[in-house]
Amino acid sequence: MKGKIVVVGEHQEGKIASITLECISAAKELKTEAETILLLMGEDMRTNASEWNETDVDQIIIVEHPLLARFSNESYIKALLSVWEQLEPSILLCGHNDIGRSIFPYLSEKWNLPLLSNIESFVLHDNKLSITRSAYSGKLTERTEVEGSSFLITIKPKKWKPLPKKEKTKPAVHSLKVNIDKPVATLIGLEQKREKAAGLVDAKIIVGAGRGIQNEEGFALVKKLADTLGGTVGVSRGAVELGVCDASIQLGQTGKTVAPDIYIACGISGAIQHLVGVTSAKTIIAINKDPNAPIFEVADYGIVGDIFEIIPSLLKEWE
Annotated binding site: 211, 236-237, 250-254, 267-274, 288, 306-307
Instruction: Report helix, strand and coil shares of the chain as percent, to nearest 5.
Output: 30, 30, 40
The number of residues making up the chain comes to 319
For residue 204, CA distances in Å to 122, 220, 226, 282, 283 come to: 27, 20, 11, 10, 11
Count helices and strands (H / E) in the chain.
Answer: 9, 17
- 34 with 3: CB under 8 angstroms? yes
- 6 with 87: CB under 8 angstroms? yes
Sheet of 4-8, strand order: 115-119, 151-155, 91-95, 4-8, 35-42, 59-64, 172-175
Report CA torsion sign: 176, 181, 183, 186: positive
Annotated binding site for FAD: 211, 236-237, 250-254, 267-274, 288, 306-307
- 95 with 203: CB under 8 angstroms? no
143's torsion region: left (phi>0), alpha (psi -120 to 50) or beta?
A: beta
